[in-house]
A and B are shown apart, each in its own frame.
Chain A
Amino acid sequence: MSGFGYAVDTFAAWLAGGEPGWLAVSVAVLAVWVLPLMLLVFPVAALGQILERKIAAAIQRRVGPNSAGLDGPLRFGFRLMLFFLPRERQDRVFKAFCNFPPVRSILLVSRRLGLGQLAADGIKMLGKEDIVPAGADGMVFRLAPYLALAGAFLPFCVVPFGQHLVMLETEVSALFAVAVSGIVVVALKMAGWGSGSKWSLLGGMRAVAQLVSYEIPIGLAVGGAVLWSGSMDLHAIVGQQYEPGVFSLLGWNALQTPFLAVLMVVFFVAGLAECQRSPFDMAEAESELVSGFNTEYSGLRWGLFAMAEYTEMLLVGALLATLFLGGYQSPIGEEWICSLAPWLEVPIHVALLGAKVVAVYLLMMWIRWTLPRYRVDQVMRLAWLVLVPLCLVSLFGIALTLLAAGGTEPGEPFGRVAARPRAALGWLGHLVGWAIPVAVGAWLVVMAKKKHGQVHPALQRLTGGRS
């Protein structure tokens, strides 16, 4: 049992003063699971918007948000704290505090980073008029943003953040994550339909078509990891990727066979599509559909959609790390980290998972600000004619590898038992397992390039090559 499960039980028992009823359990669940998780995920997702703006600015050679610092919130805090003083006094104290050199430099840095933009945007969003269009289906319209956020947030319950840090431990947590994130589809459809606007409707339709299509590669990619690990429990999957010794990353799923590496790429691409991120942002393509399914939303409701998008990005990063990149484990010296005291080990593991998530996050932003958008038919073609066959081939390859290795045996979630295929394959088996698929893949790429890769001489001239 994970630490959280134990904490919930204890807390519920304490609340009820005996055998806990449903109310006590609900309160305990909220207090122990949901609240901390929200406090962890949502601020990060909100920070992501600032990060995205800064990154977009850097890619586009702009400055980005650089004026709103933390002075404003700070001043507000001073006003609250020193409510008993007259205003000039408050200001004088605040000024003196701000001129204190370390504070001053922190404020300057925060201004350069545009951190205050977070507060400013939040207040702006709260202050905006909450518009429900006349033609909208009010109930559906109002409900959609919350559902979207719920769908993006719920799968975090099964993501292991550390050795004993998983909110909801089930045998089928991988399936749970994929299934629950399907709520977003409903939410987007509701937003598109409920808005009573044609742009929203089109955006909603596109979103549903896209999300439903991309659930399949995602499911198959998750299936690959599940097949390899022999378990549907995300925690067990992470545990199975444990490798003693210095180079712990050798145990990660992505490095086991090239098929799992391919599945990781597929998962990432499909994940981009699930988050409605460019180049798959056709559901809210601002140059085509004004803003797609959230055209008619304003203020806080729109903010919830934005938050859902960023939360979902975090989710894709977390699942990708969990399934293929060793979860919360360190790339080197995991054995040593595990031997540390819990108060040290837990933060390190959470931070490591966070680092992996942020890496995926940054990659998504980089892609968004670089690539154009796919068209509807191309999005579908990519899903059904590229990703799904790729997944099937990879699944077949994984099955073959497992057959050669003599099946798999799930490692124990917390027992740190390395799963069997690795041991059974041996270094020669691994080498062959990598060499054959890589060679075939490279040959296919070369052939495809030879056949379709010619670039018109004029284009070569444009890109600085010889004409």
Chain B
Amino acid sequence: MKALAFDAIATAVQARFPAVLVQKADNGQMALRVPKASIVDVAHFLRTDAQLAFDGLSDLTAFDTLKYPSTPPQDDICVVYVLFSYTHRHKVLLKVHAERAACDVPTVSGEWPAALYFEREVWDLFGVRFVGHPSLRRIMTPDDWEGHPLRKDYLYPATYNGVAHLRDGQHFEAAPPRSGGPL
């Protein structure tokens, strides 16, 4: 058991995949930015390499970078993989940016079966289509729900099965906040 620091992990990955970049968040949180096409290869490498041995997928989630105050402004869905090695006890964040329009990312469920559920959730809430996922169905929202709620440009459907979703005749997001808070 030998825990590696982020730098060592980054070096090891970049030696194999030069296209992988180190991405530093505004508060210094480090992550590896992986090109969309090579995520499966990188994941396979990270999982099987003896030094790295990321046998666990601790979390797989995403966030919409639209409206995030950065220069230059971004507009894509950032899929975040939190990998953890139970063998070596180190952790790394991978990030894959997918364009809003053609939002498809290869699935990593072949590497970690835990991704089966995580990817379904990300598909449901962000509309990231995980290519190769065996059963990419909605998981939180009903099967006939429209849109992907956690996208920043999402508007609640005005009605769902005949139930109005408008507040004061306006979309939920656009309505002025009532007293007491944003909701």
In their complex, do chains A and B touch, with some C-beta pair under 8 Å? Answer: no
B-to-A contact residues, CB < 8 Å:
none
